[in-house]
Chain A
Amino acid sequence: MFGWFKKFTSPTLLRAKGVLGMNARNFHVISKYNARRLYPLVDDKVQTKALALQYGVNTPNMIGVIEHQYQVKDILKMVQDHHEFVVKPAHGSGGKGVLVIKDYTDDCFTLPSGKTMSYKELYQHISNILSGLYSLGGRYDEALVEEVVHFSDVFKDYSYHGVPDVRIIVYKGYPIMAMTRLSTAESGGRANLHQGAVGVGLDIKTGKTKKAVQHNLPLTIHPDTHADLRKIQVPLWREHLLIAAKAYEMTGLGYFGADIVLDAQKGPMMLELNARPGLAIQIANGLGLKKAIKRVDKRYPSGLTPEQRIDFILG
């Protein structure tokens, strides 16, 4: 009984630490700084991509969009100049429904895992995307076809199967907290912390490991690859921050999470934006978001360009 009770902490301690709770996030931050009409800009990846292009933010190139069921078979024409491509739902989240094709022949597609997929199965997958299987609230969706990201090797030792990305929380245009999520055998190659992925808090100034947690408990080596998690240093950190900061001007959202991946040749690329980013990042960093938000409100200047803001943070 008391053992169970000990798992709880007091609100006073959380407040002192500046931890942002779900209610406070929704009330004080999201409903205040994220106008509802802006949501489609980030919920629809096709729109996000168009905006990114306009603002000079690096994203994987779009090959095409499939909007209707009768267009499903057009995918072949669309990708005729590409030997590899990615199909994803425009309104998906958390990597649901993302299909990476490494190669294809006249009768089948090859996945990164080496498995093959028949044409029929691919059509079926796209069809599912269009009917809303992976979209928020099951609405009809579009399928986005884009170029494959060739992940940089930096994270190779740190991730079991899945793709590590960097999540940066941006408040009023200032990146305030960052982490990378590393998939594990337990998380089944997924990057969701509650499924057992490792969350690594990154120092906002340097991109270096601050702290690593799995299931809310600190750890120092990756459970599957045994790589030393304390030694992570995200390369091109300033570019990462800049992408995140630019997304503020791009979308007008006062608070969002930017998911950024590192391409071996093209550098950091924005994968998606999230207008309601989760709060687990606080645990990975051992820091409260509320504190960071207050700091921005009080001391950070407004009216700066993205570059100036990054300089302000780094300087």
Chain B
Amino acid sequence: MKHFFSVRLLLTVFLVLSLGFAGYSMYYKIKYWGFSLSPKQSANVWDIEAHVSFTADGSPVKVSLGIPTKNKGFKILEENVTADGYQTSKYADRIVFTAKNKTGEQNLYYKIIIFDNTWGKDKLKDKSPTAPKPPELDEQKLAQAHQILKLAGQMPGNDTVEQLINLFNQEPLAPALKSYLPVQYAPKTKIEIMQELLAVAGISARTARGLKLEEGQKITPDLMLEAYIGNAWHLYDPATAKQGLPDNFLLFQRGGKSLLDVEGGINSEVKFSLQKSITSTMNLASRRANLAEKSGWFDHTIYSLPLAQQNTLKWLSVFPIGILLVVLMRNIVGVQTMGTFTPMLIAMSLVKTGFVTGLTCFVAIILLGLMIRFIMSKLNLLLVPRISAVVIFVILIIHFLTFVGYNFDIKIAQASVFFPIIITAWVIERASITWEEDGPVNAGKELFNSLLVGIIVYFVIANDYIRHFMFVFNEFNLVILFVVMLLGTYTGYRLTELKRFAPLVKKGL
């Protein structure tokens, strides 16, 4: 008894130590490496490439491109310039390329890697503007402007800006507005006219440019309207009148400045291409660690490994928690399953196949397999060849299901490929033996239990948050290790035993 308690004590000490260690590294990783609890926040890494092209005319060239200012919505991780024969100089919100004597087609590239820092969203700060200069309009125009503002006042919207945008987007346009606008105009002009009208109403406004973060090539930046209301700049989408920074939107440039100025060239154009980077969170973290000058450890962690290895480890990192669940189900709840880790393997397959598809498919394979196994039991084959035959049958069933799935476009059937063949065959063999020895009810019960535990484990290991957590804060696997070991000293009753042994304590028996 003494020995038993000392083991438990020792394990408890280890558990507490590992908890402390995991807790501290969690704090450290969040603070210095920028790891987050949620899988999403730091995962969005974007490669944005601005491609400036123009035809140089032989005179000295000066290209000035607006670039994203530092803001809290996004963090710039890396900047890259590809411009052969150009000198570059960078300012706060512009990058300038200069060169002498260039002729012909010119291509300049400005590339940045940013990540989405959602925490800092909507907290755009900027200098407060001076009161807007009343635009210089003739009397007739001014009267029209006032009329339009009056019309806008009747439109839905939370403030004047939203109302005005809604008025602009109304179909058909109000006659007063139609006559105010030029016959044909660019989107930029539309925003400029809005600014003009807002200035009449006494509201400072300006144009902002940004990129919607969607993967694509040759993207032109979106124009946004920014207005200063209530001591802060607010961003409005001129297409929807919605206020606020849209999700996944990189604000590139603010204020009315131009995006691209080219001297010494014609037909200038800037196109953006965006790519959601599969660069992992961890890649990001290493840069952050460098920034924070806390990279000492970093190079010695799994996060400095190549992505492929990291993905494998990520997949592995979530298993301990699944194993913990299996232990709980078996030793604390007392569920009888087929083999210790069959539920674990079922759960792993379900992750690969998707839940409903995987489950349907698994049940189909098992049922077909059982049918074949019963036919085979009449043949009285020896054990090893028989199990091998079941394995081959499972492979054939998978062939069949995949074929059916492809031809009839049933995704469910195609998922069958992902089931571990040997395990499936073994489950079939085991189920059919239990069936023969203990009857179909017991075989069904065992199958059901294994599947049930498998499903529970699936929901845990398929959860993005849990997977992310267990990989990013992988020290918690150490905690799980000691919890599992401590469970090894649990000698109390299992939940199912409370039912099994209930007759022993019933009165009158």
Contact = CB atoms under 8 A, between A and B. Distances in A.
Contacts of B334: 22
A217 interface: yes
A282 B504 contact: yes
Contacts of A8: 495, 498-499, 502
A14 to B, nearest CB: 6
A121 to B, nearest CB: 8
B439 interface: yes
Nearest to A216: B503
Interface string A130-148: 0111000010000000000
Most B-side CB within 10 Å, residue of A17, A124, A127, A138: A138
Contacts of B509: 218, 286
A13 B334 CA distance: 19
Dominant secondary structure of chain B at its interface with chain A: helix
A19 B334 CA distance: 16
Interface residues of A, number: 37
Contacts of B503: 213, 216-218, 283
A19 B492 contact: no
Contact of A133 (B4, B383, B442, B500): B383
B490 A282 contact: no
A279 B380 CA distance: 34
* A22, A128, A195: most-surrounded residue (chain B CB, <10 A): A22
Contacts of B492: 11, 21, 23-24
B185 interface: no
B437 interface: yes
A17 B494 contact: no
A17 B503 CA distance: 11
Interface in B485-509: 488-495, 497-506, 509
A23 B494 contact: yes
Contacts of A279: 501
Nearest to A121: B380
B375 interface: no
Contacts of B337: none
B437 A96 contact: yes
Interface in B423-441: 437-439
B92 interface: no
A11 B492 CA distance: 8
A17 B497 CA distance: 14
A131 B493 contact: no
Given A7-B502, A217-B503, A283-B504, A21 B380 contact: no
A195 B491 contact: no
Contacts of A10: 498
A286 B489 CA distance: 27
Contacts of A16: 505
Interface in B464-504: 488-495, 497-504
B493 A11 contact: yes
Nearest to B501: A19
A54 interface: no
Contact of B491 (A24, A194, A217): A24
Interface string A159-189: 0000000000000000000000000000000
B331 interface: yes
A283 B499 CA distance: 12
B356 interface: no
B7 to A, nearest CB: 10
Contacts of A133: 383
Given A124-B380, A127-B382, A138-B383, A14 B505 contact: yes
B493 A21 contact: yes
B384 interface: yes
A288 B439 contact: no
Interface in A172-212: 192, 194-195
A71 B104 CA distance: 93
A23 B491 contact: yes
A16 B331 CA distance: 21
B166 to A, nearest CB: 54
Given A27-B489, A131-B382, A283-B503, A21 B497 contact: yes
Nearest to B387: A138
B439 A128 contact: no
Given A22-B334, A218-B509, A11 B498 contact: yes
A28 B493 CA distance: 13
A265 interface: no
5 contacts: A7-B502, A9-B498, A14-B504, A19-B497, A194-B442
Given A14-B493, A19-B505, A28-B491, 13 more contacts: A7-B502, A8-B495, A9-B499, A9-B501, A13-B505, A14-B505, A27-B488, A27-B491, A96-B437, A124-B380, A132-B383, A216-B503, A283-B500
